[in-house]
Amino acid sequence: MKVLIIGSGGREHAVADAFSRSSTVSEIIVSPGNAGIAEDFRCLPLNGQDEIAGFCHDKAVDLVFIGPEQPIKDGLSDLLRAEGIRVLAPSRDAARLETSKAFAKQLMLKHHVPTASYSLLRDESAAREVLAKCSYPIVLKADGLAAGKGVIICSNESAALQACAGLFRHSAGSSGILAEEYLQGWEVSLFAFCAKDTFQTSLFAQDHKQLYDQDMGPNTGGMGAVCPVVAAEEYRQEIEDKILAPVLTAMKELGCPYEGVLYLGLMITQQGPKVVEFNCRFGDPEAQALLPLLKTDFMELCLAMTEGRIGKLKLEWMNQAAVAVVLAAPGYPAAYKKGIRIRCPQMDSKVFFSGVTREHSDLISCGGRVLTVMNMADTLDNARAAVYRDIESTDFPEKVYRKDIGKRKNLLF
């Protein structure tokens, strides 16, 4: 079978790698991909939805896998389905679970799904009223997509008013700003493989969002991930029964059944698991730690979702632990340096490329998150040791990375 992957990051590199282990996949194309992915897979620029659909018809592509949220929000999955092309991604309407935080919150409130309480601040005067009365700290979020960087935690009213002013300036046209109760606990990510109202869940994974060790510094798109997170297993049933089942039933009732990968960002609180966010796709860098552990044929998993038989699929994982560490450019997540030459020697770890381009025969950095190094082993400690050894031998001057991925106390593998 021929598969076309849409996207250009480390997540899409890991998705391509997962398809390459499938016994039924004969050809993998990534669009646009990047110069690093192109070392392993065919990359091809396709400009716009019509060109993608035309390519799928001409080349008889069997499945399109959409990696990031933006093309889904732009309607690519709807267009491909309308053209009779098989696609693994939710519809634009179903993807509102990610693309509108207000939509997701309203749905959770209506169906009693555990999440932080919230108010929707439609304008600055509504914001002043709510912020004068609420308890602190409070979490402010823009309603639309913000690449993981749109969340501000405010410890008092004046900080919240200032943050609100900035968010309103940058979110003109959206339905407003969410002010959320601050949840205390520890975070974990879970992926649901959904076929309308049936689903199966993945291993748990854990992202490391802050830039510096010990979870200090600014939030980023994610600086590293580990999988599995055994300490979260005791909550799996509760998450499936109290979160996933009601949300998928509600989506079906709304006329936009969810088909594809649904990402649950969860906070494990003293009252149990609560939803921090949904995403309509795999996480980056969680996918780089999760997918290498998948034993089930990835194409078979995708087809089980598109053909509505996910409930019957035998989903199997390797009995190992994976650690994925992001190497970023200096300055990230603010303005970052570009054009740094990168050389990865032959190594035991896998390298998944994000922000790289080619200049003559060299790979050079062009993004904030540049690449992810992943290894897996029988224990988390062994996987960590292998990853950090290989990072040492990666020739990437000025690389910025966390030294403590996989060291959190709640990871008992």
- Write out the residues near ligand AMP by the rule CB under 6 A: 116, 139, 141, 148, 151, 180-183, 187, 209, 219, 265, 276-277
Q: Looking at 33, 71, 90, 222, which residue binds ligand GLY (CB under 6 A)? A: 222
Q: Looking at 17, 286, 297, 390, which residue binds ligand GLY (CB under 6 A)? A: 286
Q: Which of 114, 107, 169, 109 is nearest to 142 (CA)?
A: 169
10 binds ligand GLY (CB under 6 A): no
The Cα–Cα gap between 87 and 260 comes to: 9
Q: What angle do CA 193, 142, 197 make, to 5 degrees?
A: 20
Q: Which of 272, 153, 167 is nearest to 210 (CA)?
A: 153
Q: Looking at 62, 197, 259, 284, which residue binds ligand GLY (CB under 6 A)? A: 284
206 binds ligand GLY (CB under 6 A): no
- Residues 324/377, Cβ–Cβ less than 8 Å: no
Q: Which of 384, 400, 284 is nearest to 333 (CA)?
A: 400
Report in angstroms how near the CB of residue 191 gets to ligand AMP at its nearest.
15
Place of tokens 């001409």: 58
List the single partner that 33 binds among ligand GLY, ligand AMP, none, CB under 5 to 8 Å by kind: none
Task: For residue 201, give both structure tokens.
Answer: 């869940």
Q: Looking at 67, 68, 148, 176, which residue binds ligand GLY (CB under 6 A)? A: 148
Of 141 and 399, nearer to ligand AMP (C-beta) is 141
* Contacting range for ligand GLY; rule: CB under 6 A; set: 172-180, 251-259, 268-276, 282-290: 282-290
- Residues 242/266, Cβ–Cβ less than 8 Å: no
List the single partner that 283 binds among ligand AMP, ligand GLY, none, CB under 5 to 8 Å by kind: ligand GLY
98 binds ligand GLY (CB under 6 A): no
Residues 256, 277, 163, 328, CA torsion sign: negative
207 binds ligand GLY (CB under 6 A): yes
Of 116 and 190, nearer to ligand AMP (C-beta) is 116
Report in angstroms how near the CB of residue 281 gets to ligand GLY at its nearest.
8
Residues 167, 169, 172, 176, CA torsion sign: positive
Q: What are the angstrom distances between the C-alpha of 48 and each of 45, 54, 80, 232, 282?
A: 9, 10, 12, 40, 22
Residues within the interface to ligand GLY (CB under 6 A): 148, 207, 222, 279, 283-284, 286
